[in-house]
């Protein structure tokens, strides 16, 4: 064992006293899942009046989950398409305030917090304006559309002193928490490599969303939509399937890699990679889109106080004939972990404590003394599963946000964390489109030449 490896393992073991006894070292082939629980009892100190900015698919889903938290009430909605405002009124009542101008939401004294779930090219400006107007803000991932935009949001969060959470909800899941706990307790030994995969195989999965029959310049405020980007004639595809176009979306890496970065950074306490390379192509969904449907990213993570140097590879495939899967895997010198939001599977390849020097030296002696035919040793694995009535990562992430708002406490994914998760995803696009390797200083959050 090298000294750096030993010191990483020792460090993580000593920082996780709750896991003393390391139960995964005691049994082999244990298939009975351990149940992961979330305590649901908390009190609603104050009522929080919430507004949705961008009341499309995710904005409405966010609002639904947020409203499950006692004391939280939707009082307003903003969207650039009339049909979405009508829908918001159907769900939350005719009396809610509706507008196509988000600044009217920010001017309202009865709004304490906003959900920002517009396409990516509006995230930065609305977040900054919301924070500076004194509103707490939950902004969907990726935090920004372009690598240059992060510092402005970080500055607004600091200056305003208001709560800001980025919406990579998996971060707050029981699965991520368990993975972090196991990683810090040394369950996989020294981290060597990680990989993540997001695969889909359907038109909707590949962003071919339906266009409403009444989509027109009468029902859509197109001028506002494009007011911060390239001027073009009204195009319903660019409005309703915005993910396919670079002016508004951030491709598969901004949409999906970013979730994997958030989870990974949370689990191993990382600030991010230093070297970013991406390749891929538009293989199948040739519907006029400007972004690839297959993307492969490779990333070098430097050694830090929290983790050793390791490599990461990420893939998105929207043409997956095996019908799709998603995972994040962390591979270490003593085992591996598959991490999902509701489940963690820990694979161990050694039944003895890797730190037990006595057992190791005894094994060496016995190997020399007797020639015994080696056996196929099954991987030891342990499954951790959320209990059946777990309300899920999305609920946990909103609960974390509103607890931050109520108690003026830290949230799990503030602007600095959100920018560090978004940056390597955005740099994948820059690497892919410019055919370059990108170098990034994750600590200073600056591009390197
Ligand atoms: N966390 C997750 O798992 C998750 C899942 C899906 C989407 N998202 C994120 O949520 C955001 C929205 O995605 P979606 O799938 O809901 O898209 P969507 O097209 O369904 O909804 C976006 C809505 O924003 C509105 N809009 C556009 N510009 C606006 C502006 N300037 N002001 C007010 N409203 C505006 C549109 O009219 C539309 O109704 C994206 O950033 C996306 O990355 C996150």
DSSP sequence for 88-120: HHHHH-TTSEEES-HHHHHT-TT--EEEE-S-G
User: Is the same domain home to 268 and 373?
Assistant: yes
From CA 188, how far away is CA 425, in angstroms rounded?
A: 26
Q: Residues with Cβ < 8 Å from 328, sequence gap 6 or more?
A: 194, 195, 196, 260, 263, 264, 338, 339, 340
Same-domain check for residues 200 and 349 = yes
Phi, psi at residue 13, to the nearest 5°? -65, -45
374 and 280 in a single domain? The answer is yes
Report yes or no: 189 and 333 within 8 Å, Cβ to Cβ.
Answer: yes
- Atom of ligand 1 minimally distant from the CA of 100: 33
Residue 53, CA atoms < 13 Å, CB-side half-sphere: 29
Gap between the Cα atoms of 95 and 73, Å rounded: 13
H-run or E-run covering 8: helix 3-14
> Distances from the Cα of 99 to the Cαs of 59, 77, 78, 95, 389, in angstroms?
15, 7, 5, 13, 37
Residue 381, pLDDT score? 87
Centre of ligand 1 from the C-alpha of residue 239, in Å: 10
- The pLDDT score that the predictor gives to residue 6 is 42
**255 CB less than 6 Å from ligand 1?**
yes
Q: Which atom of ligand 1 is nearest to the CA of 122?
A: 31
* Whole-number pLDDT of residue 5: 44
Ligand 1 atom with the smallest distance to the CA of 59 is: 16
The answer as to whether 399 is a domain residue is no
Specify whether 7 is located in the same domain as 128.
no
Q: Residue 25: what pLDDT? A: 40
Q: What is the pLDDT of residue 125?
A: 98
Q: Is the domain of 131 the same as that of 203?
A: no
Q: Is the CB of 140 under 6 A from ligand 1?
A: yes
Closest CA to 251 of 223, 290, 216: 290
Instruction: Please say whether the beta carbons of 324 and 340 come within 8 A.
Output: no
- Asked if residue 142 has a cis previous peptide bond (ω within 30° of 0), the answer is yes
CA of 64 to the centre of ligand 1 (A): 15
The pLDDT of residue 361 is: 67
155 with 182, same domain: the answer is no
Domain-embedded: residue 402: no
Is residue 66 in a domain?
Answer: yes
**What is the CA(105)–ligand 1 centre distance, in A?**
17
The sheet that has 326-332: what strands, in order across it? Answer: 34-36, 380-386, 343-348, 335-339, 326-332, 191-199, 310-317, 294-301, 275-281, 438-441, 446-448
Q: Rounded to whole angstroms, how far apart are CA atoms 104 and 338?
A: 45
Of 11, 71, 66, 12, nearest to 46 by C-alpha is 71
Are the CB atoms for 255 and 243 separated by under 8 Å? yes
Question: Which has the closest alpha carbon to 152: 129, 134, 136, 169?
Answer: 129
Residue closest via CA to ligand 1's atom 6 equals 58
Query: Looking at the structure, do residues 283 and 343 belong to the same domain, yes or no?
Result: yes
Q: How far apart are CA 312 and CA 26, in angstroms?
A: 30
- The residue segments making up the domain with residue 276 are 3-38+174-212+219-391+415-448
Residues 279 and 355 in one domain: yes
Whether 281 and 296 have beta carbons less than 8 Å apart is answered as no
Output the CA 67–ligand 1 centroid distance in Å.
18
Identify the helix (H) or strand (E) that includes residue 140.
Answer: strand 136-140
183 and 328 assigned to the same domain = yes
Q: Report, as ranges of residue numbers, the positions in the chain whose pLDDT lies below 70.
A: 1-31, 38-45, 323, 350-379
Residues 259 and 308 in one domain: yes
* 407 assigned to some structural domain: no
The answer on 181 and 134 residing in a single domain is no
Q: Give the count of domains, the chain.
A: 2
Orientation angle between helical segments 415-434 and 258-268, nearest 10 degrees:
130
DSSP string, 46-85: S-EEEEEES-SHHHHHHHHHHTTSTTEEEEEEE-SBHHHH
Q: Is residue 403 part of a domain?
A: no
Q: Is residue 384 part of a domain?
A: yes
Query: Does some domain include residue 203?
Result: yes
Main-chain dihedrals φ then ψ at residue 324, nearest 5 degrees: 100, 140
Atom of ligand 1 nearest to the CA of 224: 31
Task: Give one word for 421, left, alpha or beta, with left for phi > 0 and alpha for psi -120 to 50.
Answer: alpha
Task: Supply the pLDDT for residue 355.
Answer: 57
HSE (CB half, 13 Å, CA atoms) of 190?
17
Whether 410 is covered by a domain: the verdict is no
Q: The CATH number of the domain where 162 resides is what?
A: 3.40.50.720
102 C-alpha to ligand 1 centroid (Å): 14
CATH of the domain at 371: 3.30.360.10
Residues 141 and 226 in one domain: no
Q: Could you give the CA distance from residue 211 to residue 236 in angstroms, rounded to a whole number? A: 7
What is each CA distance from 340 to 180, 196, 327, 343, 386, in whole angstroms? 12, 11, 6, 5, 10
The reply to whether ligand 1 has any atom less than 6 angstroms from the CB of 292 is no
Query: Bridge partners of 317?
Result: 199, 294
Cα 93 to the center of its chain, rounded Å = 32
| Pocket of ligand 1 contains residue 129 by CB under 6 Å | no
Q: Are 228 and 234 in contact (CB under 8 A)?
A: no
Regarding the beta carbon of 79 and ligand 1, being less than 6 Å apart is answered: yes
Per-residue pLDDT at 46: 77
Of 111, 137, 170, the one marking the end of a domain is: 170
Alpha-carbon separation of residue 113 from 24, 41, 66, 76, 329 (angstroms): 43, 22, 11, 10, 35
For 115-136, the pLDDT digits (tens) are 999 999 999 999 999 999 999 9
Residue 381 Cβ inside 6 Å of ligand 1? The answer reads no
User: Residue 323 Cα, ligand 1 centroid: separation in angstroms?
Assistant: 25
Q: Is the pTM of this model over 0.85?
A: yes
């Amino acid at each position: 064992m090298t000294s750096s490896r030993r010191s990483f393992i020792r460090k993580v073991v000593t920082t996780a006293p709750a896991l003393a006894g390391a139960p995964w070292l005691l049994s082999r082939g244990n298939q009975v899942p351990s149940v992961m629980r979330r305590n649901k009892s908390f009190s609603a100190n104050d009522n929080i009046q919430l507004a949705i900015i961008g009341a499309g698919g995710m904005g409405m889903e966010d609002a639904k989950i947020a409203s499950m938290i006692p004391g939280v009430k939707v009082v307003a909605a903003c969207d650039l398409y009339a049909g979405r405002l009508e829908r918001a009124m159907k769900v939350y009542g005719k009396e809610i305030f509706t507008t196509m101008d988000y600044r009217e939401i920010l001017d309202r004294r009865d709004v304490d917090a906003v959900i920002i779930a517009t396409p990516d090219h509006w995230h930065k400006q609305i977040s900054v304006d919301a924070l500076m107007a004194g509103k707490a803000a939950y902004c969907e991932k990726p935090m920004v559309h372009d690598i240059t935009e992060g510092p402005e949001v970080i500055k607004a969060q600091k200056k305003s002193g208001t709560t800001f959470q980025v919406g990579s909800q998996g971060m707050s899941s029981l699965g991520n928490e368990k993975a972090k706990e196991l990683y810090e307790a040394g369950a996989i030994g020294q981290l060597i490599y990680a990989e993540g995969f997001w695969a889909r195989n359907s038109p909707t999965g590949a962003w071919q969303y339906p266009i409403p029959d009444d989509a027109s310049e009468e029902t859509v405020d197109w001028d506002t939509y494009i007011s911060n980007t390239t001027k073009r004639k009204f195009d319903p595809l660019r409005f309703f399937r915005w993910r396919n176009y670079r002016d508004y979306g951030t491709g598969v890496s901004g949409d999906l890699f970013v979730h994997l970065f958030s989870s990974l950074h949370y689990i191993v306490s990382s600030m991010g990679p230093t070297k970013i390379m991406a390749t891929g192509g538009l293989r199948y969904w040739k519907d006029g889109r400007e972004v690839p449907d297959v993307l492969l990213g490779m990333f070098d993570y430097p050694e830090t106080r929290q983790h050793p140097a390791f490599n990461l590879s990420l893939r998105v495939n929207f043409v997956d004939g095996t019908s799709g899967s998603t995972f994040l895997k962390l591979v270490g010198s003593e085992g591996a972990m598959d991490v999902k939001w509701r489940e963690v599977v820990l694979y161990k390849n050694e039944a003895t404590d890797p730190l037990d020097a006595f057992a190791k030296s005894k094994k060496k002696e016995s190997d020399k003394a007797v020639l015994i035919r080696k056996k196929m040793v099954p991987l030891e694995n342990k499954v951790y599963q959320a209990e059946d009535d777990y309300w899920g990562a999305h609920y946990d992430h909103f609960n974390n946000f509103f607890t931050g708002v109520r108690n003026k406490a830290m949230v799990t994914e503030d602007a600095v964390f959100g920018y560090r998760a978004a940056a390597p995803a955005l740099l994948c696009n820059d690497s892919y489109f410019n055919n370059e390797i990108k170098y990034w200083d994750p600590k200073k959050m600056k591009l390197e030449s």
